[in-house]
Amino acid sequence: MDETPGSVGTTASLSLRLGQAFFSSASLLFMSVGVEFYSYTAFCFLVTIMGLVIPWSCTLAMVDIYSLFAGCPLRLPRVMVIVVIGDWVLSVLSLAAACASASVIDLLIHIDGPYCPTKICGRYQLSAAMAFLSWFLTAASSLLNLWLVASW
Amino acid sequence: MDETPGSVGTTASLSLRLGQAFFSSASLLFMSVGVEFYSYTAFCFLVTIMGLVIPWSCTLAMVDIYSLFAGCPLRLPRVMVIVVIGDWVLSVLSLAAACASASVIDLLIHIDGPYCPTKICGRYQLSAAMAFLSWFLTAASSLLNLWLVASW
């Protein structure tokens, strides 16, 4: 079995997982602390998905740390298939949530009315940007692990 | 080389391509004919992306038809890599456009004001639904071709 960079049990994978956990936490915090996000469906969706990405990434980061310390990557075929499917589903949902939020923010800025004060809109935008970064890292993990599974 | 169902040059691939072309054309028509879609960034984005998916799918459908009639699949490694990357980029962009449009439509329905008469909103919703179906087929093509390339 060749060593695909970024697959489970490598330092590259650990960095990707930590990055996902960091950016999804940042997105969740920017969206939820002190902002009335629950008025908009897209923002609730973003918060839900980011709340799913954080435990997933943290769990797999712990698996990576264990593999690195134990020196033997945990690469049972069934586990890898679950990881690939989970990553793929979460990356699709993260992208969907990030795009939905970004388009709603864009619309709120352009519609006249009391929908989006500048300060709060800035935080919404930061949250959507963090969600895009989290999506990017999840998609990278998903593709690298899929490549590993397919090349067996 | 094993015969992965859905990879370039099979009948499954041809059906996926025709489905993509059909759903993206339907999405484009529902969005653009007689509706003022250019007032909203998300809808312009959807129209642009569907306008890219149609020629891409039609070209690859013709490649599939040629391969089926000639009896020898066109599977040069470089061409396959381009097909996989193109499919992946277009599936990400289709999903982004579909989600952005769906969330904007949801917001327009819930905001009071003259933004979305019922008849026009129904067409927007149909267009977003067609874009989701087109995304689903593009993602399937992308994953099946990636699997073929990775298993070489």
A146 within domain boundaries: yes
For residues B120-146, give the mean pLDDT.
91
- Position A86, amino acid: G
Residue B114's pLDDT is 66
* A146/B151 touch (CB, cutoff 8 Å), yes or no: no
Which structure tokens are listed for B151? 């298993």
Question: Is B34 strand, coil or helix?
Answer: coil
Q: Is the pLDDT of residue A1 over 50?
A: no
In-domain check, residue A116: yes
**Is residue A2's pLDDT more than 60?**
no
Count other Cβ atoms within 10 Å, centred on residue A117.
8
Query: What per-residue confidence (pLDDT) applies to B52?
Result: 95
Determine whether the interchain pair B103/A151 forms a contact, defined as Cβ–Cβ distance below 8 Å.
no
Residues A20, A151: Cα–Cα separation, whole Å = 25
- Indicate whether B92 belongs to any domain: yes
Domain span at A24: 11-150
Q: What is the mean pLDDT of residues B124-133?
A: 93
Work out the average pLDDT over A71-87: 85
Burial of A12 (0-12, 13-18, 19+ CB in 10 A): middle
Would you state the pLDDT for residue A9?
A: 80
Q: pLDDT digit string (tens) for A17-44?
A: 999 999 999 999 998 887 777 778 889 9
Helix (H, G, I), strand (E, B) or coil at B152: coil
Query: Can you tell me the ipTM of this complex?
Result: 0.84
> How many residues comprise chain A?
152
Q: Across the interface, do A103 and B101 touch by the CB < 8 Å criterion?
A: yes
Band (pLDDT 50/70/90 cuts) for residue B1 is very low
* Residues of chain B with C-beta less than 8 angstroms from the C-beta of A108: 107
The answer to whether A42 faces chain B, any CB pair under 8 Å, is yes
Mean pLDDT of B93-116: 86
Q: Do B104 and A107 touch (CB under 8 A)?
A: yes
Q: How far is A117 from chain B (nearest CA, A)?
A: 17
Distance between A43 CA and the closest CA of chain B, angstroms: 10
Residues 59-98 of B with CB under 8 A from A: 92, 95-97
The total number of structural domains that make up chain A = 1
Residue B2 has pLDDT above 60, yes or no: no
- Give B14→chain A minimum CA distance, Å: 23
pTM (2 d.p.) = 0.88
Chain A residues near residue B94 by CB distance under 8 angstroms: none
The answer to whether the CB of B98 falls within 8 A of the CB of B132 is: yes
A1 at B interface, C-beta within 8 A: no
Quickly count: other Cβ atoms within 10 Å of residue A112's Cβ: 6
3-state secondary structure of B69: helix
Q: Give B67→chain A minimum CA distance, Å.
A: 24
In-domain check, residue A6: no
Report the mean per-residue pLDDT for chain B.
87
A1 in any annotated domain = no
Residue at B101 is within a domain? yes
Residue A138 — very low, low, confident or very high, per pLDDT cuts 50/70/90?
A: very high
Instruction: Give the length of chain B.
Output: 152
> Which pLDDT score is estimated for B45?
93
Tens-digit pLDDT profile for residues B8-63: 888 899 999 999 999 999 999 998 887 777 778 889 999 999 999 999 999 999 99
pLDDT higher than 70, residue A113: no
Q: Is residue A2 part of a domain?
A: no
Q: How many CB atoms lie within 10 A of CB A31?
A: 22
Binning pLDDT at 50, 70 and 90, where does residue A4 land?
low
Q: What is the DSSP letter of B113?
A: S
Q: Is B1 on the interface with A (CB under 8 A)?
A: no
Per-residue HEC secondary structure of chain A comes to CCCCCCCCCCHHHHHHHHHHHHHHHHHHHHHHCCCCHHHCHHHHHHHHHHHHHHHHHHHHHHHHHHHHHHCCCCCCHHHHHHHHHHHHHHHHHHHHHHHHHHHHHHHHHHCCCCCCCHHHHHHHHHHHHHHHHHHHHHHHHHHHHHHHHHCC
- Domain-located, residue B2: no
